[in-house]
Structure formats: C-alpha cells, structure tokens
C-alpha cells in the first residue's frame, strides 16, 4: 500500500511540476527559446501572492487571481523589453538575457525578503484529504493542483489545435515573417505567449508555495525540474508536458519510497533515460520542415 | 488613380543596395510583370512592397495612402498580399489551416475556402493533408490560395513557376487566368519571358537593382526585353550574360 501511496503522491507532485513546465513549454514552442528566468519568475509569483494575501488579508486563492494578470504584464514587459531584441540577434542571446534576468530577480527577492523560507497559509486545506485505507491519503490541495494543471494544459492544447487564434500562434511559431505576410501581428502573438507563460509560472509558484516552504533561491531548482518535464514529455507538446510532470513526480516519490535520498536522483535518472532512449520525449514527434 | 505607387525606393541588404532608386506605379486592375536576371532585386522589391523588408529610402503608397511605415500585417489588412518566392508554407499545418490562417484579417471579398478550392481544383481532397507533404505544384497552389484568402486588392506573385514541371506551371497559370481576369491588380515576377509577356499588360525589367525598362507588353519586342534583361544596351560587358545566370536561389 505504501507504494500505491507513493504513486498517488507522485501524481499530485506531478501536477505542480506540470504547472511549472507549462510556460516553459509554451515559450519554447512559440518563441523557440528557453526562458532561464522561468523558475525565478515563479518564485516572484509566489512572493507576490504571499505579500498580497498578508497585506490585504485575503485568501491566497483570491490573491492568485489578482496576481495572474500582473504576472501576465510582467511577461509582456519581458517580451517587449528583453526577448524581442534578443530573438532578433539570434543564437544564444535570448538565453543569456533571460539568465541575466534570473540572477537579477533572485538577488532582488533575496534583498527584499531575505533568505528565510516561508510558506503560504491555506488553512486546513494544506492537510485535509481523503483517507483510503490505512496508508493511502489523497490531499485535496493535491487534487486541486492536478485538476488545475489538466485544465490549463488541456485548455491551452485545445486552444492551439482547434481555434483560429491557435492556428495563428502555430503559424507564427513556424515562421514569424511569413505569418506577418498573411496578416498576423507576430509581435502581438509573442506578447500573448509570454504573458500566458509568465502568468502560469506565477500560478505554479503559488501552488508550490501552498504545499511546501519556499525561498528566493529555489528558482533554479524549479527551472531544472520544469526543463526535465518538458524534455520527458516531448518538446512542443503540451499534453506531453502534462504527462512529463506526472512521470517526474512519480519518479521522485517512488524513489523516495525506496530511500528518501533517492528522490531527486530518481527523477534525474528518468530524465536521462528518456534522453537516451526516446530523445523526442514520450509524446513528442520528430520535427520536420519543408 | 494608381493603386500602387513606388517612389525612389532604395532597399538594402546590409551594405548591398539590392533595389536602387526605383519608381513606378500600377493602376487598379492592371497586371504588371517584373522580369530580370537572378539577383536583379525583384524579390527584394516585392518584399519591400509587402512590408517584409523595410526600405532605406523612398515611399510606397497604396491607393494614395503612404504605407511605407506600416508593418507587413497592417499592409495585408490594407489589401497587399505576397506569394513569397519559395512558397514558405507552414509545413506542419494542414492545407486547410494554411488557408484559414490567412483569413483572420477579415477583409471582405469573394475569396474563402470554397472559392480557393474551386479556383485550384487540384487542392480538392487535400485539405486535411499536412502542407509539408504536398508536391511542389500543390504547395504553390496553396501559397497562392493563402494569399487570396486575405482578399487582396494588390496581389504580388514572386516566381510561382520556380522549380515546377512545365505541365504544373500550365495548370497553375490556367487557374491564375481566372484570377487575373477577375479584376485583381497583380504584380508578378516571372522568369519565363514568354509567359510574362503573355499574361501582363505591362512589363518592368530590372537590372542590378534598377528598373531599366517599363513598357506596355504589346509595344515591346522580346529582343528589347532581353537586351534590358542583360544590360546589353549599356556598355557591353562580354560576360554579363553568364554572370547574371549564376544561381543564388535560397533553399
Ligand atoms: N536576405 C538577404 N541577405 C543578403 N543579401 C540578399 C538577401 N536577399 C537577397 N540578397 C541579395 O540582394 C540581391 C537581390 O536579390 P533578389 O531580390 O533576391 O533578386 P532576384 O529576386 O531578382 O533574384 C542579390 O545580390 C542577392 O544576393
Ligand atoms: Mg527572386
């Protein structure tokens, strides 16, 4: 039964990882760039939610709803101020630029909030759950996280696959110059993609902060996990990102069940195994061009 | 009044002046062919008119409105559509998606999915196929159809017959015939001089970035165009002809 419980907990953890990876996956899919400040933007989101909830005295869930549009604007600023120029320069410059932003963000957060860990109080929800038998418990917060992750990633996937806006985004991702020639404002598409990506990073940060303590320095670790999730699931597939999140979460909790020291290592091992045996990811397709 | 006016246009690629001091106008409903050797600057001119490449100097006007500062998608909304050289389809999108993605500008007009399929019967039954898997001719039909989906007032066609079998070129030009006779203003780049003189009412010849000939198609002989094409009327350079045929087509 402990193993079943480990898997259940892994799926819940996977929900958070999938949320973390969602924006990274989207930004890679649309802008073909890896945003190295993604993890620190998630931490920024967590702090904004914590500060707002404490200052106004509202529930963190309500604070999240207010912080999401702010994070969206941060995404637009990131795109307009940093990425658009760096993407035009090409090569590594966009990754270097976001790496720089990551360091700045981390240090600003450290300066303001100190290195202390803190957590986001959600009252009884943090411990409440459904007890199944003697050893399996399903925390409500975990279920909520998974539901939000499935809705978000599934919703975005459907948006991309089925709607006119989605077509315009995919066309821009494939060839922005030509998208302009059929009437698509590619800069606006990029700005929207960045807004959604950063807002979901903030959402992931908030959900993470509700289940465990957080501090200004945790960004890079979350970025690494998100990166692993995207690669495990397959670049450019949002369903893959959801699956990748679950796989990484389960790998970590099952690893911890073997021995608590194996938790993180087990996750990395699965990541490396996917890279070695299925480099396009579990749900990824080999990309092709004309 | 002219639909398209180009005045003293200069377009550069870095230091290279690919289009130099080009001026011409195209009337509403007119079909104008642009000919010239490889590297003469035809594609650069077309891309500058479409807004894909910002000119260094000069002015581009559409129906009296200066569009020089407008970005490409705004010019599409204003009624300029380019079928780019090399087709440039969205390979991972289906044929239908390639066509529909161009209808988001919502310009009113006769062109929609059904009209495009009717004009290019070879696309019938291919709508759900991935565009990257089509033959060259089918891809070219999609590229033209995609431009038409924006319901342009001015259609720019850049070497639609490039790399296609002659039979396929005939099929495409048959379809284009209906479009050309439908009143759309067209500026087309065509390597095949006979074909260019056949469909166009006027022919512009470019040489090293300049327009060296601008005549009604009926009043110009093949020899005159060939002369302008190779710059033979200027101080004759013996190897000009061979130099001009050096290929530089992008993949
Ligand atoms: N993207 C580019 N970068 C640099 N030079 C270019 C580019 N595109 C075209 N050129 C150069 O500009 C000149 C005109 O090219 P182009 O407009 O493609 O001519 P054409 O279409 O008549 O063959 C050529 O010398 C070509 O090498
Ligand atoms: Mg050309």
Q: Are the CB atoms for A41 and A204 separated by under 8 Å?
A: no
**Is 0.90 surpassed by the pTM of this model?**
no
Tokens 């973390």, residue? A20
The pair of structure tokens assigned to B48 is 């500058």
The pair of structure tokens assigned to B3 is 């639909």
Instruction: Delimit the domains of chain B by residue range.
Output: 2-248
pLDDT tens digits, residue range A65-113? 999 999 999 999 999 999 988 888 877 898 899 999 999 999 999 999 9
**Interchain CB distance below 8 Å, A183 and B105:** yes
Residue A26, pLDDT above cutoff 80 = yes
Q: Stretch A30-49: mean pLDDT, rounded?
A: 94
CATH number of B2-248: 3.40.50.300
Hey, what CATH topology would domain A2-114+133-277 get?
Answer: ABC transporter involved in vitamin B12 uptake, BtuC (1.10.3470)
- Dihedral sign, CA of A61, A66, A67, A72? positive
Ligand 1 near B42 CB (within 6 A): yes
Residues of A in contact with B51 (CB under 8 A): 180-181
Q: Stretch B90-113: mean pLDDT, rounded?
A: 93
**Interchain CB distance below 8 Å, A290 and B93:** no
Tally of CB atoms within 10 A around B164: 18
Q: Stretch B117-131: mean pLDDT, rounded?
A: 93
Tally of CB atoms within 10 A around A201: 35
The predicted pLDDT at position A2 comes to 86
Q: How far is B75 from chain A (nearest CA, A)?
A: 8
- Strand order from edge to edge, sheet including B2-13: B16-27, B2-13, B57-62, B65-66
pLDDT tens digits, residue range A107-154? 999 999 988 888 888 777 777 888 887 788 888 999 999 999 999 999
Instruction: Delimit the domains of chain A by residue range.
Output: 2-114+133-277
Ligand 1 near B18 CB (within 6 A): yes
Q: Are the CB atoms for B98 and B142 separated by under 8 Å?
A: yes
pLDDT tens digits, residue range B22-72? 999 999 999 999 999 999 999 999 999 999 999 999 999 999 999 999 999
Residue A289, pLDDT above cutoff 70 = no
In whole angstroms, give the CA distance from residue A145 to residue A151: 10
> Could you tell me which of A166, A287, A237 has the C-alpha nearest to residue B92?
A287
Q: How far is A289 from chain B (nearest CA, A)?
A: 6
User: How high is the ipTM of this complex?
Assistant: 0.88
Interface of A with B in 160-189 (CB under 8 A): 164, 167-168, 170-171, 174-175, 177-186
What's chain B's average pLDDT? 88
Of chain B, the end-to-end C-alpha distance in Å amounts to 39
The predicted pLDDT at position A22 comes to 95
Residue B11, pLDDT above cutoff 70 = yes
């Amino acid at each position: 039964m402990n193993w079943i419980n480990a898997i259940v907990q892994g799926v819940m953890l996977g929900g958070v990882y999938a949320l973390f990876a969602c924006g990274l996956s989207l930004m890679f899919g649309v802008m073909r760039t890896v945003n190295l400040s993604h993890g620190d933007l998630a931490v920024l989101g967590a702090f904004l939610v914590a500060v707002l909830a404490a200052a106004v005295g509202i529930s963190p869930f309500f604070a999240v709803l207010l912080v999401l549009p702010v994070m969206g604007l941060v995404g637009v600023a990131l795109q307009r101020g940093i990425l658009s120029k760096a993407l035009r320069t090409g090569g590594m410059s966009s990754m270097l630029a976001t790496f720089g932003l990551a360091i700045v963000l981390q240090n600003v957060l450290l300066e303001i909030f100190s290195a202390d860990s803190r957590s986001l109080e959600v009252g009884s929800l943090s411990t409440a759950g459904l007890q199944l038998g003697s050893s399996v418990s399903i925390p409500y917060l975990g279920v909520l996280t998974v539901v939000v992750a499935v809705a978000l990633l599934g919703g975005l996937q459907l948006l991309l696959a089925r709607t006119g806006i989605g077509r315009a985004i995919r066309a821009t991702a494939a060839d922005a110059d030509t998208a302009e020639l059929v009437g698509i404002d590619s800069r606006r598409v990029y700005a929207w993609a960045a807004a959604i990506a950063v807002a979901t990073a903030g959402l992931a940060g908030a959900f993470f902060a509700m289940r465990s303590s957080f501090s200004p320095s945790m960004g890079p670790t979350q970025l690494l996990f998100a990166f692993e999730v995207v690669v495990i699931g397959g670049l450019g597939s949002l369903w893959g990102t959801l699956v990748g999140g679950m796989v990484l979460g389960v790998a970590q909790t099952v690893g911890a069940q073997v021995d608590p020291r194996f938790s993180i290592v087990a996750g990395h091992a699965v990541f490396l195994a996917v890279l070695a045996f299925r480099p396009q990811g579990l749900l990824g397709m080999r990309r092709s061009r004309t | 009044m002219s639909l398209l006016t180009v005045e003293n246009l200069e377009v550069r690629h870095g230091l290279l002046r690919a289009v130099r001091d080009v001026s011409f106008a195209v009337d509403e409903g007119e079909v104008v062919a642009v000919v010239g050797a490889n590297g003469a600057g035809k594609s650069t001119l077309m891309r500058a008119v479409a807004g894909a490449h910002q000119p260094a100097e000069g002015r581009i006007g559409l129906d009296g409105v200066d569009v020089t500062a407008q970005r490409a998608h705004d010019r599409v909304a204003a009624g300029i559509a380019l079928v780019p050289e090399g087709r440039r389809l969205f390979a991972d999108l289906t044929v239908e998606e390639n066509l529909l993605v161009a209808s988001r500008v919502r310009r009113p007009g006769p062109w929609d999915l059904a009209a495009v399929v009717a004009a290019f019967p070879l696309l019938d039954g291919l709508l759900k196929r991935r565009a990257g898997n089509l033959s060259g001719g089918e891809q070219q039909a999609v590229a033209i159809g995609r431009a038409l989906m924006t319901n342009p007032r001015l259609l720019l066609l850049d070497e639609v017959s490039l790399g296609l079998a002659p039979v396929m070129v005939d099929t495409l030009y048959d379809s284009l015939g209906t479009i050309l006779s439908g009143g759309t203003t067209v500026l087309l780049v065509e390597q095949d001089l006979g074909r260019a003189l056949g469909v166009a009412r006027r022919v512009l010849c470019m040489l090293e970035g300049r327009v060296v000939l601008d005549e009604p198609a009926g009043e110009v002989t093949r020899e005159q165009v060939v002369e302008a094409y190779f710059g033979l009327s200027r101080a004759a350079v013996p190897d000009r002809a061979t130099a001009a045929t050096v290929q530089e087509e992008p993949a």
